[in-house]
Amino acid sequence: MRRYLGILAVASMFLASAVNVNAQDMLQIKGSDTLINLVQRLAEEYMEKNPGKYIAVTGGGSGTGIAALINGKCDIANASRLMKPKEITQANERGADPKRVVIAMDGLSVITNLKNSVTKLTKDEIGKIFRGEITNWKEVGGTDMAITLYGRQSNSGTFVFFRDAILKGDYSQKMNRMNGNAQIVEAIKQDMSGIGYVGVGYVKDASSQLNVVKVASSPGADYTSPLNSNDVKSGKYPLARPLNQYVNGSPKGATRDFIAFELSPEGQKIIEQEGFFPIPDEYRDFNRKSVGLE
Partner 1 sequence: MKQKQFTQILGFNFLRMCMFIVIAALVVILYDITSKGIGKINWEFLTAMPRKGMTEGGIFPAIVGTVMVTVITAILSIPLGMGCAIYLNEYARDNKITRIIRMSIRNLSGVPSIVYGLFGVVIFVQLMHLGTSILSAGFTLGLMTLPWTITASEEALKNVPNSYREGALALGATKWQSIKTNVLPYSISGMLTGTILGLARAAGETAPILFTGAAFYLPFLPKSLSSQFMALPYHLYIMATQHHAIAKVRPIAYGTALVLITVVFLMNLFAVILRYNLRKHKME
Partner 2 sequence: MIKFKEKLIHGIFFFNGLLVVIVLLGIFALLVFTSIPAFKEISLREFLFNSNWNPTSYVKSSYGIVAMLVSTFMVTLGALLIAVPLGIGTAAYLSDVASTRVREIAKPTVEILAGIPSVVIGFLGIVLVGPFIAKVFNLHNGLNALNGSILLAVMALPTIISLSEDALKSVPKSYEEASLALGATHWQTLVRVKLPAALSGIIAACMLGMGRAIGETMTVLMATGCAPAMPESFLGAVRTMTSSIAIELGEVPYNTTHYYALFGIGLVLFIITFLVNMSADIILHRYQKVAK
- Contacted entry of partner 2, partner 1, none for residue 37, CB cut-off 5 to 8 Å set by kind: partner 1
By DSSP bridging, strand 98-107 and strand 240-248 are: antiparallel
Q: Looking only at residues 173 through 202 of this chain, which bind partner 2 when binding is defined by CB under 8 A?
A: 173-177, 187, 190-194
Residue closer to partner 2, measured from CB, 56 or 187: 187
Residue 207 interaction partner, one of partner 1, partner 2, none, beta carbon < 5-8 Å per kind: none
The sign of the dihedral angle between the CA atoms of 159, 161, 162, 167 is: positive
As measured in angstroms, the least distance from the Cβ of 18 to partner 2 is 28
Q: What CA–CA distance (Å, rounded) separates 130 from 169? A: 9
Contact 209, 114 (CB under 8 A): yes
What single letter denotes the amino acid at residue 174?
Answer: K
Binding partner of residue 177 among partner 2, partner 1, none, CB cut-off 5 to 8 Å per kind: partner 2
Scan residues 84-113 and list those touching partner 2 (CB under 8 A): 87, 90
Decide whether 40 or 90 has the Cβ nearer to partner 2.
90
For 241, phi then psi, to 5°, come to: -150, 150
**DSSP three-state, residue 87:** helix
Q: Rounded to whole angstroms, how far apart are CA atoms 258 and 253?
A: 9
Residue 177 binds to partner 1 (criterion: CB under 8 A): no
Q: Residue 190: which of partner 2, partner 1, none does it interact with, CB under 5 to 8 A by kind?
A: partner 2
Pick from 57, 260, 86, 270: which is nearest to 160 by CA?
86
The residues of the shown chain that bind partner 1, judged by CB under 8 A, are 1, 5, 8-9, 12-13, 15-19, 21-23, 26, 33, 36-37, 40-41, 44, 47, 54-60, 73, 179-183, 186, 202
